[in-house]
Amino acid sequence: MRLDKLWLKNFRNFSNTELKFMNNFTVIVGENGTGKTAIMDGISIVISELIAIFAKEESRKIDHADIFLKRNIHQLTIEPRPMAVIECLVKFENEWSIYLDDDIDKFWASELVDRISSVYGYSSVYKLADEVEFYIDLDIEFPLPIFVYYHTNRLWTTSDSEYTEKLNLDSRYAGYSNFLKPTTNESEFKKWFIKMSMINLNEKPSNALTSVKTAIKKCLERAGIIDIYYEHLTNEIILIFGEEVIPFYLLSDGYRSMISMVADIAYRMTILNPFLDDHLKTHGIVLIDELDLHLHPKWQRNIVEDLKSTFPNVQFITTTHSPFIVQSLQPGELLLLGEHTDESLGLASPQLFVNKSLEDVSTNIMGIKHPQRNQKLQDLFNLTKEYYSMIKEKIENPEQTPILDPSINELKSRIDELTVIFSDNIAFHAILELEKEELERKGKNK
């Protein structure tokens, strides 16, 4: 299963926007409020309708708060509330293509009806669901796609333990449990890992445990992880970093968050497709809001490639604020949102970020001018330019002296305050003094 197109109409920031997803990895970048999370939520709303039908899981709906309302600051008009619509084209391994949509009417509807239709022969998505259930009920080796959405609060999410205990792990549909709000916290991961490790010791090797350990070691290999195992004497999960042995609970938020998420993806794959020789080759879609969350910049440089190599058939759609992640992307993997989202949304030109320096990426993609300077140094730079510009104007127009002097003195005072911070920069101060003396000399000779 992969997402090819997404159309958002009157949804959150978007009045009428079509997005195309060309590659198996898409990173969405934009300033806060430009619609990154709105795109992720839009995808989750429509695809959850499909998953909910045959997995008996609760889907998301468009809420009235999601509707895009166009503001007119020049006049006040009263118009009917527009209808919010989300549509997408989803393709499957076996050439099925399903056209899904969701609109605000479903907020009031009791069931999904005619609005979901098929592109190639299926008059209703229910027929696809019936087909899936037919294969599953007969225990036919029919691959199920993974779909899961990791939000920004994924590290601290707590699950309903009673619900977790009631899960029927004999059902392949259990791989979709809580797929819109997956738990990736330490307690849930530890509980599952210990349980599988005990089964592995007392009964027979667990393919699920093997796949999860393989995923963790492969995805975090560059982070230094060599092995992960359960130590029954201390009742702790242990990780080996080179010659260092560290309990799971002592790891940083970044490590614990990533390990738990990778383990959750791999675990779901083992439940969905237990018959596969390599569970990690399961197809599907994984959404991750703020991929860089809690990750050290050194790790951010490699996380995209690590996820792609660990789960080669998964389509990842993520958001980020990290120039390190952007710097690591390939052509076609960066979706750039602008201030006016509908007009300025699209794939970023590879010339802006591929094989570019961190400074280039920060300037071209993040819109940060002079990223190599901190803000105080930038302020000093701007004030100094303004200061010398006023002195020059005073020299050229002596009659403006009474007007300019107060501003010049105020600027000088602010510059003096900031130069104290950079007092160790002798060359910088020498240049300031030389420029000042040169301007004063020209003024006297005029």
> What integer pLDDT is reported at residue 102 of this predicted model?
53
Same domain, 24 and 127: yes
Q: Which residue has the tokens 């796949």?
A: 211
Q: Domain containing 24: what range?
A: 1-142+286-367
> What integer pLDDT is reported at residue 32 of this predicted model?
82
When the pLDDT of each residue in the chain is averaged and rounded to a whole number, the result is: 76
Q: How many CB atoms lie within 10 A of CB 225?
A: 20
Q: Residue 118 domain-assigned?
A: yes
- Mean pLDDT of all residues in 16-22: 84
* Bridge partners, residue 86, by sequence: 8, 102
State how far the Cα of 293 lies from the Cα of 387, in Å rounded to an integer.
41
State how far the Cα of 129 lies from the Cα of 110, in Å rounded to an integer.
18
Best-predicted range by mean pLDDT among 128-132, 260-264, 336-340? 260-264
pLDDT at 213 over 90: yes
Single residue among 321, 350, 367 that ends a domain in this structure: 367
pLDDT band at residue 440 under the 50/70/90 scheme:
low
Same domain, 62 and 161: no
Residues whose CB is less than 8 angstroms from the CB of residue 57 and which lie 6 or more positions away in sequence, other chains included: 48, 51, 173, 176, 177, 178, 179, 180
State how far the Cα of 78 lies from the Cα of 36, in Å rounded to an integer.
29
State how far the Cα of 310 lies from the Cα of 167, in Å rounded to an integer.
27
pLDDT band at residue 201 under the 50/70/90 scheme:
confident
State how far the Cα of 163 lies from the Cα of 183, in Å rounded to an integer.
12
> Tokens at residue 1, please?
């299963």
Single residue among 242, 263, 282 that ends a domain in this structure: 282
- What's the CATH number where 56 sits? 3.40.50.300
pTM confidence score: 0.73
Do 96 and 128 meet the contact criterion of CB atoms below 8 Å apart?
yes
- DSSP labels for 196-252? HHHHHHHTS--HHHHHHHHHHHHHTTTTTEEEEEEETTTTEEEEEETTEEEEGGGS-
Same domain, 86 and 208: no
State how far the Cα of 224 lies from the Cα of 327, in Å rounded to an integer.
22
Single residue among 229, 264, 282 that ends a domain in this structure: 282
Q: Residue 30 domain-assigned?
A: yes
State how far the Cα of 304 lies from the Cα of 314, in Å rounded to an integer.
12
Nearest to 103 by CA among 153, 46, 155: 46
**3-class secondary-structure state, position 260:** helix
> What integer pLDDT is reported at residue 443 of this predicted model?
61
Per-residue b/e over 67-104, b at no fewer than 16 CB within 10 Å?
Answer: ebeeeeeeeeeeeeeeebbbbbbbbeeeebebbbbbbb
State how far the Cα of 344 lies from the Cα of 411, in Å rounded to an integer.
38
Q: Which helix (H) or strand (E) segment is 42 a member of? A: helix 36-55
Higher pLDDT residue, 377 or 246?
Answer: 246
pLDDT band at residue 28 under the 50/70/90 scheme:
very high
State how far the Cα of 197 lies from the Cα of 189, in Å rounded to an integer.
12
pLDDT band at residue 347 under the 50/70/90 scheme:
confident
Q: What percent of the chain has pLDDT over 70?
A: 69
> What integer pLDDT is reported at residue 372 of this predicted model?
54
Same domain, 227 and 346: no
Backbone angles phi, psi at 346, to 5 degrees: 165, 175
Same domain, 161 and 248: yes
> Tokens at residue 183, please?
């738990």
Best-predicted range by mean pLDDT among 58-72, 125-139, 427-441? 125-139
Same domain, 276 and 211: yes
Q: What is the pLDDT of residues 155-199, one digit of tens each?
A: 644 444 444 444 556 688 888 888 887 765 566 678 888 988 988
- Mean pLDDT of all residues in 237-258: 90
pLDDT at 118 over 50: no
Same domain, 101 and 226: no
Measuring CA to CA, how many Å separate 122 from each of 101, 104, 129? 15, 24, 10
- Mean pLDDT of all residues in 337-365: 72
Domain count, the chain: 3
Q: How many helices (H) and strands (E) does the chain have?
A: 13, 14
Same domain, 358 and 391: no
Do 408 and 439 meet the contact criterion of CB atoms below 8 Å apart?
no
Strand 2-11 and strand 85-91: the pairing is antiparallel
> What integer pLDDT is reported at residue 280 of this predicted model?
94
